[in-house]
Amino acid sequence: MINEIQKDAESRMQKSVESLHSTFGKIRTGRAHPSILDAVRVEYYGAEMPLSQVANVNVEDARTLSVVPWERTMVPKVEKAIMTADLGLNPSTAGTVIRVPMPALTEETRKGYTRQARAEAEHAKVAVRNIRRDANGDLKALLKQKEISEDEERQAQDGIQKLTDRFIAEIDKSLEQKESDLMQV
């Protein structure tokens, strides 16, 4: 029982951290990275598809992405999808290759992205703490039903707290890394 609660809490906390990493991937830094275009969806034969399923996205240099659609007819659709994705990017087409230059970030933009990253990290911490609260509630329910002793409950709560501390530290480390990436000129 106790092990199941701890394993469930750990997997849910891990998912919160993974969600934070994917959110951080969408906050762009000054460098080109294919994950910036993950949110772009392209209409492909009447269906909305992720860009990665209709084109190859590669890093050309530190500030440029190259997008090569698999079908020549998709070039204008892909270009339009990137423009309308509200990412602040202006692609340019050269034949079948779409180049997406990353504009340099101003100091103000960097600070705004840093604030956004901090807010996302705080949301992840709140999620981890909520998972801790749920796990401790499950332990209290087991104690109330007399399925575990008070000592076992206390030990399990200590284990849950250690898990929480570990994941909070991981979130802080990720935030620190993202902030240093954002503030790098």
pLDDT single digits (tens) 120-175:
999 999 999 999 999 999 999 988 998 888 899 999 999 999 999 999 999 999 99
What residue spans in the chain does CATH classification 1.10.132.20 cover? 2-26+106-183
Q: Which segments of the chain belong to CATH 3.30.1360.40?
A: 34-101
- State the pLDDT confidence band at 185, using cuts at 50, 70 and 90: low
Out of 6-15, 23-32, 77-86, 156-165, least confident range = 23-32
φ, ψ of residue 15 in degrees (nearest 5):
-65, -35
Residue with tokens 């705004």: 112
Number of H-type helices and E-type strands within the chain = 4, 6
d(CA 117, CA 60): 26
What pLDDT does residue 23 have?
85
Reported as a single tens digit per residue, the pLDDT across 39-48 is 788 888 888 8
* pLDDT score, position 33: 77
The pTM for the full model equals: 0.72
Amino acid 30: pLDDT: 67
Q: How many CA atoms lie within 13 A of 4 on its CB side?
A: 4
**At the topology level of CATH, where does 2-26+106-183 sit?**
Topoisomerase I; Chain A, domain 4 (1.10.132)
Taking CA atoms, 99 is separated from 43, 74, 84, 120, in Å, by 19, 14, 15, 30
> Which residue's entry shows tokens 């570990």?
166
- Each residue's pLDDT tens digit, 58-111: 888 878 889 999 888 888 888 888 888 877 788 888 888 998 888 777 888 888
Helix (H, G, I), strand (E, B) or coil at 58: strand
> Could you tell me the pLDDT band of residue 14, with boundaries at 50, 70 and 90?
very high
Q: Are 64 and 30 in contact (CB under 8 A)?
A: no
Neighbours of 15 (CB within 10 A): 12
The mean pLDDT of 8-24, rounded to a whole number, is: 91
Choices 3.30.1360.40, 3.10.150.10, 3.30.70.270, 1.10.10.10: CATH for 34-101 = 3.30.1360.40
The rounded distance, in Å, linking the Cα atoms of 92 and 101 is: 8
The yes-or-no verdict on residue 15 having pLDDT over 90 is yes
Report the 3 state secondary structure along 25-48: HHCCCCCCCHHHHCCCEEEECCEE
